[in-house]
């Protein structure tokens, strides 16, 4: 998550920053360079291939998944010790993904002194032998706080949160809950309060504002909305088949084939579940809003399609992958022009649109809302900043996947959002994936301030990336819709097809990303996923690099097209606060002679207050080439730079190292990846 560099950095103005004067030795890294992203040359003509079946996720039954979770839960103490957690830290298993070769990706939440750690989630990847292969953490900071007794009262934290909720249109005068937590998602971990304020927002959407307050200073550290709003279109899907339940002479919208998913009629209420759709025949609705069951049929159909899409595309059994269905509520409120997913009820809710005339119960709305639940059950991307944009983009991307999967002639698949409802009053879609800025608010490409943009619009670069990866740049007609997708660097991108793009995005979501993943981390995760599925020398891997470069995230692949040969390592490496230097290695083989005088070194590092960092390239001879010096005044976030190094004195073949050291206190970071390009 990228944010203002002043967040959590007040100590920089009140304390003298002390630089490290000597190395204390290189720290041992859990996340060693073992992923397939480690260095190999990209051939001039990469080959397109099928996904490596060894790295495909196994379709687990609910009981098999539960057993894996139980087994992981029994070993949490040993795992915590193995990965170097402190004595007050404990792990709680959230989910397990198993690959065909026996590799396990276990997702954990963390506690400290019995308190939940927000931003403490991590993924541990283990081989079938039991050996730890990789650890991906939401934070690289050492988890340690001075004490667990707050200086700020709970009442003071509640008051601040309620005032903030009211400023955003909330209606409640008290909070629903206040709890002590450890806040570790940004900056140095601190004892904090998490306050949740319910009620309703101005537009009638339920309010679940989460406010994080420093328990020592009273400073607001973070806030996000727990209810994920989706914007979709309203239309009819034609005559479709619904799975219902019959009991005697009564039929209900209860889908026993899909985890017992039920659809309820709120009848313009705004709380509870409403009434389960029930009638004495199995024909639902009449194709118009004059019959209240029409919206119920559309929502029930959309939920079934979404379930089937996830099951048949990714082997996922329901939102939580546990075989249990969510539920849907239609006819919410009066003239409510929106739809939303709510984790607390594990349900989707649909308004009836302007004048209660157009229920927002289309296929892509169902796909969008249910996908918020899938994100919550996997990476749980924070719904604010860059991670919030990725959260929203995931729902748009998967909604497009559902719409194409449905193959419904009334609503053909497309890369548009809300194309069938005229909310804007001008007959245009709400969002465009090929060129997001066409909606007047979304961003086509990444830039340093995008974390401050509303999440529905900061999703633009990710939606744009997905379109480029699927279809490529330039003009193209898909299902009768004409698209024309530009790139940030004005270079072409060749698509690999939507099916492969979906597999890469989902694997990154389910096995690589954490709650704090930002755009740089999304690039790292999708590259790792592409490398595992298709190989690091594949056309698919190259396309991921080029598509991200096409939205200004990272550099081009450099392989083929006369652009030189590149070697890349995308294994994340944590950079400790004011600690020893860490390294990431790339092994170069198969070259002759010395390195060039214009060796390109592309560096992707996430780090608040980047001036803390000193970065060196270390050649095979051990000679260090300084890329970046320490600067106490450089408060900007992150290092995404390409450096030119005269490495002509070095033999090309051998182990090259990127060496990074944080030389001042208060901040941590991650080497997301780096690349050497030989022109």
Q: Are 200 and 170 contacting, i.e. CB atoms less than 8 angstroms apart?
A: yes
* Average pLDDT score over residue span 433-450: 93
Contact 100, 89 (CB under 8 A): no
In this predicted structure, the answer to whether residue 171 has a pLDDT above a threshold of 90 is no
Radius of gyration of the chain (CA): 25
The confidence band for 43, taking pLDDT boundaries of 50, 70 and 90, is very low
Q: What percent of the chain has pLDDT over 90?
A: 64
Place of tokens 């900043």: 385
Q: In this structure, how many other beta carbons lie within 10 angstroms of the beta carbon of residue 196?
A: 19
State the pLDDT confidence band at 30, using cuts at 50, 70 and 90: very low
**Each residue's pLDDT tens digit, 288-321:** 888 999 999 999 999 999 999 999 999 999 999 9
The residue with tokens 């996340």 is: 31
The answer to which of 38-42, 261-265, 299-303 has the lowest mean pLDDT is 38-42
With a cut of 80, say whether residue 329 has pLDDT above it: yes
Closest CA to 298 of 342, 348, 256, 260: 348
DSSP state of 388: H
pLDDT at residue 10 is higher than 60: no
Q: What is the pLDDT of residue 422?
A: 62
Q: Give the orientation angle of helix 385-406 with respect to helix 363-377, to 10 degrees.
A: 130
Which residue ranges make up each domain of the chain?
Answer: 1-29+558-679, 53-137, 154-216, 244-377, 381-553
pLDDT digits (tens, 9 = 90+) for 83-117: 999 999 999 999 999 999 999 999 999 999 999 99
Q: Edge to edge, what strands does the sheet with 250-252 contain?
A: 245-247, 250-252, 278-279
Give me the pLDDT at residue 627, please. Answer: 95
For the domain bounded by 244-377, which CATH number is listed? Answer: 3.10.170.10
Phi, then psi, of 421 in degrees rounded to 5: -125, 135
Q: What share of the chain is helix, strand, coil (3-state, %, to 5)?
A: 25, 25, 50
Q: Tell whether the model's pLDDT for residue 73 goes beyond 80.
A: yes
For 310, phi and psi rounded to 5 degrees? Answer: -65, -40
Alpha-carbon gap, residue 461 to 482, rounded angstroms: 20
Asked if the model's pLDDT at residue 155 lies above 90, the reply is yes
CB 278 within 8 A of CB 250: yes
- Structure confidence by residue, pLDDT tens digits, 456-484: 999 999 999 999 999 999 999 999 999 99
Residue 311 bridge partners (DSSP): none
Across 68-72, 87-91, 151-155, 591-595, least confident range: 591-595
Residues forming the active site: 369, 456
The set of residues, in sequence order, having a beta carbon less than 8 Å from that of 64 and lying 6+ positions away, is none
Between 22 and 456, the more confident residue is 456
Q: What is the pLDDT of residue 425?
A: 64
pLDDT of residue 228: 66
1-29+558-679 under CATH 3.30.70.20, yes or no: no
Which pLDDT score is estimated for 354? 85
Confidence of residue 424 (pLDDT cuts 50, 70, 90): low
What does the alpha-carbon distance between residue 295 and residue 352 come to, in Å, rounded to a whole number? 9
Residue 25's SS3 state is: coil
CB 571 within 8 A of CB 673: yes
Q: Sign of the C-alpha dihedral, residues 60, 62, 63, 69? A: positive
Question: Does residue 20 surpass a pLDDT of 50?
Answer: no
Q: Which of 176-185, 539-548, 661-670 has the lowest mean pLDDT?
A: 661-670
CA atoms within 13 A on the CB side of 81: 3
DSSP, residue by residue, 564-620: -EEEEE---EEE-TT---EEEEEEE-S--SBPPTTEEEEEEEEESSGGGEEEEEE-T
**Cβ atoms < 10 Å from Cβ of 383:** 24
pTM here? 0.73
Residue 207: per-residue pLDDT = 79
Region 415-428 average pLDDT: 75
Three state DSSP letters for 465-527: HHHHHHHCCEEEEECCEEEEECCCCCCCCCCCCHHHHHHHHHHHHHHCCCCCCCHHHHHHHHH
Task: Inform me whether the pLDDT recorded for 22 exceeds 60.
Answer: no
DSSP letter for 409, please: T
The mean pLDDT value for 337-346 works out to 91
Return the sign of the alpha-carbon dihedral for residues 307, 310, 316, 321: negative
Band of residue 31 on the pLDDT scale cut at 50, 70, 90: very low
Q: Which two tokens stand for residue 665?
A: 């206190």
- Strand 347-351 versus strand 327-332 pairing type: parallel
Number of Cβ atoms within 10 Å of the Cβ of 102 = 13
Taking all residues of the chain, what is their mean pLDDT, rounded to a whole number? 86
Whole-number Å distance between alpha carbons of 617 and 658: 5
1 versus 231: the higher-pLDDT residue is 231
User: What local confidence, expressed as pLDDT, does residue 508 receive?
Assistant: 97
Is residue 415 over pLDDT 90? Answer: yes
Q: What is the pLDDT of residue 238?
A: 82
pLDDT of residue 556: 85
* Residue pLDDT, tens place only, 594-644: 998 888 898 999 998 889 999 999 999 999 999 999 988 888 888 988 888
pLDDT, one tens digit per residue, over 550-605 is 999 988 886 433 345 778 898 899 999 999 999 999 998 878 889 988 888 989 99
- Give the pLDDT score at 288: 86
CATH of domain 381-553: 1.10.390.10
Separation of alpha carbons 520 and 37, rounded Å: 15
CATH architecture label of 53-137? Roll (3.10)
Dmax of the chain from CA atoms? 86
pLDDT at 1 over 70: no
Going by pLDDT thresholds of 50, 70 and 90, the confidence category of residue 32 is: very low
Q: How far from chain centre, in Å, is Cα 14?
A: 35
């Amino acid at each position: 998550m990228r944010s203002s560099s002043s967040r959590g950095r007040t100590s920089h103005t009140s304390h003298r920053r002390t630089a490290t004067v000597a190395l204390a030795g290189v720290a041992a890294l859990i996340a060693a360079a073992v992923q397939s992203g480690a260095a190999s040359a990209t051939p001039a003509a990469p080959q397109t291939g099928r996904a490596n079946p060894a790295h495909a996720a196994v379709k687990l039954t609910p009981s098999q998944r539960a057993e894996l979770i139980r087994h992981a839960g029994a070993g949490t103490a040993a795992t915590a010790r193995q990965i170097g957690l402190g004595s007050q830290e404990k792990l709680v298993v959230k989910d397990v993904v198993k690959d065909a070769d026996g590799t396990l990706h276990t997702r954990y939440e963390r506690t400290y002194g019995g308190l939940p750690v927000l931003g403490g989630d991590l993924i541990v990847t283990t081989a079938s032998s039991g050996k730890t292969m990789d650890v991906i953490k939401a934070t690289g900071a050492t988890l340690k706080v001075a004490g667990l007794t707050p200086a700020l009262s709970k009442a003071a934290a509640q008051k601040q949160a309620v005032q903030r909720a009211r400023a955003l249109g909330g209606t409640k005068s008290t909070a629903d809950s206040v709890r002590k937590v450890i806040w570790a998602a940004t900056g140095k971990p601190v004892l904090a309060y998490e306050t949740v304020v319910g009620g309703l927002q101005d537009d009638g959407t339920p309010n679940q504002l989460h406010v994080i307050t420093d328990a020592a200073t009273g400073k607001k550290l973070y806030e996000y909305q727990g209810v994920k709003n989706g914007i979709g279109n309203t239309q009819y899907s034609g005559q479709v088949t619904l799975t219902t339940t019959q009991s005697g002479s009564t039929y209900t919208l209860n889908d026993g084939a899909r985890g017992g998913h039920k659809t309820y009629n709120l009848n313009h209420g705004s709380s509870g579940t409403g009434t389960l759709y029930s009638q004495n025949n199995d024909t639902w609705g009449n194709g118009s809003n004059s019959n209240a069951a029409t919206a119920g049929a559309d929502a029930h159909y959309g939920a079934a399609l979404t379930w089937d899409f996830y099951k048949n595309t990714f082997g996922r059994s329901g939102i939580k992958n546990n075989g249990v269905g969510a539920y849907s509520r239609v006819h919410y409120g009066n003239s409510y022009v929106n739809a939303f997913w709510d984790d607390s009820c594990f349900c989707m809710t649909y308004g009836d649109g302007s004048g209660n005339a157009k229920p927002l119960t289309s296929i892509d709305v169902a796909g969008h809302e249910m996908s918020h639940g899938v994100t919550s059950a996997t990476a749980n991307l924070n719904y604010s900043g860059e991670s919030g944009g990725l959260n929203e983009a995931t729902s748009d991307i998967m909604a497009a996947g559902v719409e194409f999967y449905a193959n419904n002639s009334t609503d053909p698949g497309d890369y548009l959002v809300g194309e069938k409802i005229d909310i804007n009053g001008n007959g245009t879609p709400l969002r465009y994936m090929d060129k997001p800025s066409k909606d007047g608010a979304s961003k086509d490409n990444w830039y340093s301030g995008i974390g401050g943009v509303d999440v529905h619009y900061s999703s633009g670069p990710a939606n744009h990336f997905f379109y480029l990866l699927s279809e490529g740049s330039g003009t193209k007609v898909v299902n009768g819709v004409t698209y024309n997708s530009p790139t940030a660097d004005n270079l072409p991108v060749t698509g690999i097809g939507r099916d492969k793009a979906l597999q890469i995005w989902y694997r990154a979501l389910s096995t690589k990303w954490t709650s704090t993943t930002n755009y740089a981390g999304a690039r790292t995760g999708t590259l790792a996923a592409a490398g595992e599925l298709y190989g690091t020398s594949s056309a698919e891997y190259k396309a991921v690099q080029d598509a991200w470069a096409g939205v200004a995230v990272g550099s081009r692949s450099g392989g083929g097209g006369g652009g030189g040969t590149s070697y890349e390592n995308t294994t994340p490496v944590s950079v400790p606060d004011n600690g020893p230097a860490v390294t990431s290695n790339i092994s170069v083989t198969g070259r002759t002679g010395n390195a060039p005088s214009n060796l390109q070194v592309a560096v992707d590092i996430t780090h608040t207050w980047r001036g803390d960092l000193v970065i060196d390239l270390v050649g095979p001879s051990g000679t260090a080439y300084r890329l970046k010096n320490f600067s106490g005044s450089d408060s900007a976030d992150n290092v995404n730079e390409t450096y030119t190094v005269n490495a002509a004195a070095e033999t090309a073949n051998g182990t090259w190292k990127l060496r990074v050291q944080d030389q001042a206190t208060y901040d941590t970071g991650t080497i997301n990846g780096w690349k050497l390009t030989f022109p």
